[in-house]
Amino acid sequence: MALTTDLSGKTAVITGSNSGIGLGVARELARAGANVVLNSYTDRKEDHALAEEIAENFSVEARYIKADLSKGDEARALIEQAGTCDILINNAGIQHVAPIEDFPVEKWDAIIAIMLSSVFHTTAAALPMMRKADWGRIVNISSAHGLTASPYKSAYVSAKHGVVGMTKVVALETAQEPITANAVCPGYVLTPLVQAQIPDTAKKYDMSEEEVTQKVILERQPSKEFATTEQLGGTVAFLCSPAADQITGTTISVDGGWTAL
Ligand code: NAD
């Protein structure tokens, strides 16, 4: 089977896609011919410009829709506004690092809302559209932290494990339909979310930023290399291809060997 995927005529909604992995996934799905809906919680000229750039580069339709996914009704409205959703990529995420006893309650609530509850809301809104189209793909961007834990990341690890559980439930509820649900579990990918952690960690350990990257961040990743947003996009495109018709309810790690340790 050819490794190229033809997604022309399909519409993909990618949450949290004005940056990092979400944007990389949007570009790879557009490269495969899908129309894309980008999203984040801002409504800036630059956000809409990203959609215009994708439309122009890949000759597809691309739109940007603002929705704050910490709010369930906005998560559902994103899908309704998209109008059609053949491919749903739940990707939006944030991070906060603190010991449990000091973990700010509002950060816990925000992480669970944006990274776990929004997956429930977008999925509930998208499934009727997929059933109507008689085809659907749901790919949830979990994490190596959806399969393993690290200290001080209680909300993130809980949300990412929750996303893996949710993925399995969706897969079972759609098992006899032409709809699949899977989770992709990246190790470290050099995106703004990870870059933001480097200066503070450098200060904490009195190290240079380069040392932090190699000795602290990539310490868990045996390949000692970051995964790229293009590789994540390629993995998602594969899950949307006919080769993956029978892959459902599972996780694919893109983590340089992290979870083999
Ligand atoms: P990023 O910061 O570049 O992107 C996060 C995206 O989520 C942005 O588009 C941001 O605007 C959006 N977002 C945040 N809060 C939102 C809200 N309330 N409503 C709507 N959108 C919101 O980070 P990234 O590294 O590209 O992360 C993307 C996903 O991949 C996250 O779920 C993250 O947990 C996961 N992940 C990242 C890595 C990594 O190493 N970068 C590893 C494993 C998993």
Residue 2 lies in a domain: no
**Domain limits for position 218:** 190-226
The ligand 1 site (C-beta within 6 Å) comprises 16-22, 40-41, 68-70, 91-94, 114-115, 141, 143, 186, 188-189, 191-194
Residues 137 and 220 in one domain: no
Q: What is the CATH number of the domain that holds 50?
A: 3.40.50.720
In a domain, 1, yes or no: no
Q: What is the pLDDT of residues 21-64, one digit of tens each?
A: 999 999 999 999 999 999 999 999 999 999 999 999 999 999 99
Position 202 in a domain? yes
- pLDDT, tens only, 184-224: 999 999 998 889 889 988 998 999 999 999 998 899 999 99
The two structure tokens encoding residue 164: 């893996």
Q: Which of 191, 194, 226, 252 to mutate to test the pocket of ligand 1 (most atoms within 8 A of CB)?
A: 191
Nearest CA to ligand 1 atom 34: 93
Which pLDDT tens digit goes with each residue over 122-140? 999 999 999 999 999 999 9
Domain count, the chain: 2
Using CA atoms, how far apart are residues 200 and 178, in angstroms rounded to an integer? 46
- The alpha-carbon radius of gyration of the chain (Å, integer) is 18
Gap from CA of 91 to ligand 1 centroid (Å): 6
Is residue 135 classed as helix, strand or coil in its secondary structure? coil
Do 35 and 147 lie in one domain? The reply is yes
One domain, residues 112 and 207: no
Q: Please tell me the pTM assigned to this model.
A: 0.97
Q: What is the pLDDT of the chain when averaged over all its residues?
A: 96
Chain centre distance of CA 121: 15
Give whole-number Cα distances, 241 to 35, 57, 84, in Å.
15, 22, 19
Contact 16, 192 (CB under 8 A): no
Q: Could you tell me if 196 and 185 lie in one domain?
A: no
Tell me what pLDDT residue 1 has: 44
**Cβ neighbours around 192 below 10 Å, total:** 8
Q: Is 5 part of a structural domain of the chain?
A: no
What's the chain's length in residues?
261
Is there a single domain that holds both residue 151 and residue 249?
yes
In a domain, 142, yes or no: yes
**How far apart are the CA of 25 and the centre of ligand 1, in A?**
12
